[in-house]
Amino acid sequence: MRNNRQRSSNLSFAARAAQAPRIATIESLDQEGRGVTHVDGKVIFVEGALPFEEVKFVSHHVKATYELATTVEVIKPSSQRVTPGCVYFGTCGGCAMQHLEFSAQVAAKQRMLEADLWHIGRVRPEKMLPPIQGTPWHYRHKARLRVRYVEKKGGVLVGFNEKGTSYVTHMDSCEVLTQPVSDLIVPLKALIGQLSIKQSVPQIELAVGEDATVLVFRIMEALTDADVALLQTFEYTYGAQVWTQTKGPDTVKPLFSHGDKLHYSLPEYNLQYPFSPIEFTQVNPAINRVMIRRAMQLLQPQAGERIADFFCGLGNFTLPIARSGASVYGVEGAQALVKRAVENAQLNQVSQVEFAESDLFDMTTESLQALGAFDKWLVDPPRDGAMALMKALPDAEDTVATHAPTRIVYVSCNPATLARDAAILTQYKGYRLTAAGVMNMFPHTAHVESIALFEKI
């Protein structure tokens, strides 16, 4: 009893001590863009601090093995520290790295990729590819904006969540959304404030195509005639199409049935991609074009080859691969995207493609063999990676199996799962990791997008 009491009073003393400002030198950046330091052997993640800086910080979460802290003063700033370009940086959870010079962000992401490949996958790429980077601002063509009616904050909030909370940021603009969409935030707040159902609009999904912008209002109650009139005036005034979603994805539809369709294009391959606002498309179309060019350079598709595009979505890589003359088999888990990919192939008159709907997390050696042999693979999985697919490949010592591709180009949005899958490929399946590199698809966030080439030994 006495010991317990003593331990709890010691703990609260430790917690109190941790809440007093302390000083430390930052060692590195973590996967979320926070500074990392160690004090008395305990790791501390310091929001707002950069490597090599001396900072004064205060902990707000004290655990036995780690602490979460916030910078209260930068005593010795990094030479790479810059003034954030957005006034909401620090409060808004949408960005994590605006205080770090842009090219240093890309270098930090490359270090994160190399660290994961080594620490998780025990593999180093034979060659690091030059990073792919584009414009740092106003690149974002897809986003989900939260909406909240908060009377005491003066009405409706429209924006991203505040960092680490479920509160909506009090914001009037955004430096990473396209400029026309950023300019819509204030009018959207005014619009929703006038709706009879202003407390029943939890989010707006936005999608920007080359000729159209669509705002999908999630609505939990029926619109009145007066609401519809207000939304129509908004669409007419600002040129952004108003769509609604009442329940599941199949209830997404335009409120007023007119206007150009959403689409993006890949001029290098003479391809057009119509898409629906809630279908997966890459958020940064400029980087997408460069990424596809890089993927083609690594894959080297040739006429006469048979190539698989796993996690193919609406055919973003499938159709450019097919333009080489190779025949391509695209596999995707979402039925709507498979349908869209088939339509896109027809629209672009690409004939030597086939698409199939399948859950690739359930892939087995037998189901992979049943697809027939492929010369090469392109793999672009979600954050969970493609472990089942990698495990389904024949083992390195299996010299009889014929379905092992000579090249695998792996596009990844999560370096940790890429590294795990790289370990399978290099340790068990007889592949070398011949090249890897980062693509700054999401500037100012800590999100690391990368591409890797595996070649059969």
Ligand X SMILES: C[S@@+](CC[C@H](N)C(=O)[O-])C[C@H]1O[C@@H](n2cnc3c(N)ncnc32)[C@H](O)[C@@H]1O
Assess 188 for contact with ligand SF4 (CB under 6 A).
Answer: no
Question: What is the distance between the alpha carbons of residues 197 and 6, in angstroms, rounded to a whole number?
Answer: 55
In this chain, which of 174, 322, 379, 419 binds ligand SF4, going by CB under 6 A?
174
Assess 382 for contact with ligand X (CB under 6 A).
Answer: yes
- Candidate segments 7-15, 34-42, 62-70, 82-90, binder of ligand SF4 by CB under 6 A: 82-90
Q: What angle do CA 150, 151, 153 make, to 5 degrees?
A: 70
Q: Is 282 annotated as a binding residue?
A: yes
Asked if 207 and 256 count as a contact pair (C-beta separation under 8 A), the reply is no
Q: What angle do CA 319, 320, 325 make, to 5 degrees?
A: 90
The nearest distance, CB 388 to ligand X, in angstroms, is 9
Assess 113 for contact with ligand X (CB under 6 A).
Answer: no
In this chain, which of 147, 176, 231, 322 binds ligand SF4, going by CB under 6 A?
176
Q: Is 311 annotated as a binding residue?
A: yes
Sheet harboring 353-357: ordered strands across? 353-357, 327-332, 306-310, 376-379, 407-412, 449-456, 431-439
Assess 162 for contact with ligand SF4 (CB under 6 A).
Answer: no
In this chain, which of 24, 44, 74, 92 binds ligand SF4, going by CB under 6 A?
92
Number of CB atoms found within 10 A of residue 262's CB: 22
312 catalytic per annotation:
no
SS3 annotation, 34-76: CEEEEECCEEEEEECCCCCCEEEEEEEEECCCEEEEEEEEEEE
Asked if 405 and 376 count as a contact pair (C-beta separation under 8 A), the reply is yes
How many secondary structure helices (H) and strands (E) does the chain include?
11, 21
Q: What angle do CA 388, 394, 399 make, to 5 degrees?
A: 175
Catalytic residue among 185, 195, 404, 413: 413
Assess 175 for contact with ligand X (CB under 6 A).
Answer: no
Assess 337 for contact with ligand X (CB under 6 A).
Answer: yes
3-state secondary structure of 269: helix
Question: What is the distance between the alpha carbons of residues 95 and 166, in angstroms, rounded to a whole number?
Answer: 15
- Candidate segments 249-257, 306-314, 365-373, 446-454, binder of ligand X by CB under 6 A: 306-314
- Candidate segments 40-48, 96-104, 117-125, 333-341, binder of ligand X by CB under 6 A: 333-341
When the beta carbons of 86 and 132 are compared against ligand SF4, the nearer one is 86
Nearest CA to 97 among 87, 110, 82, 112? 82
In this chain, which of 47, 227, 380, 421 binds ligand X, going by CB under 6 A?
380
Assess 168 for contact with ligand SF4 (CB under 6 A).
Answer: no
**DSSP assignment string, 306-332:** EEEEES-TTTTTHHHHHTTT-EEEEEE
Assess 334 for contact with ligand X (CB under 6 A).
Answer: yes
251: exposed, middle or buried (Cβ count in 10 Å: 0-12, 13-18, 19+): exposed
Assess 317 for contact with ligand SF4 (CB under 6 A).
Answer: no
Name the residue with tokens 């399978």: 424
In this chain, which of 44, 95, 113, 379 binds ligand SF4, going by CB under 6 A?
95
Nearest CA to 285 among 419, 164, 180, 441? 441
In this chain, which of 52, 137, 361, 428 binds ligand X, going by CB under 6 A?
361
Assess 313 for contact with ligand X (CB under 6 A).
Answer: yes
Contacts of ligand X in 260-299 (CB under 6 A): 280-282
Assess 139 for contact with ligand SF4 (CB under 6 A).
Answer: no
Assess 317 for contact with ligand X (CB under 6 A).
Answer: yes
Assess 171 for contact with ligand SF4 (CB under 6 A).
Answer: yes
Give me the helices (H) in 357-454, please: 365-370, 387-392, 415-427
Assess 333 for contact with ligand X (CB under 6 A).
Answer: yes
Question: How many residues of this chain interact with ligand X, rule: CB under 6 A?
Answer: 19
The nearest distance, CB 248 to ligand X, in angstroms, is 16
- Candidate segments 64-72, 76-84, 182-190, 353-361, binder of ligand X by CB under 6 A: 353-361
Name the residue with tokens 């606002």: 277
Q: Which residues are annotated as a binding site for S-adenosyl-L-methionine?
A: 282, 311, 316, 332, 359, 380
Query: Site residues (CB under 6 A) for ligand SF4?
Result: 86, 88-89, 92, 94-95, 160, 171, 174-176, 444
Q: Which residues are annotated as a binding site for [4Fe-4S] cluster?
A: 86, 92, 95, 174
Active-site residues, by number, are: 413
Q: Which residues are annotated as a binding site?
A: 86, 92, 95, 174, 282, 311, 316, 332, 359, 380
Query: Site residues (CB under 6 A) for ligand X?
Result: 280-282, 311-313, 316-317, 332-334, 337, 359-361, 380-382, 413
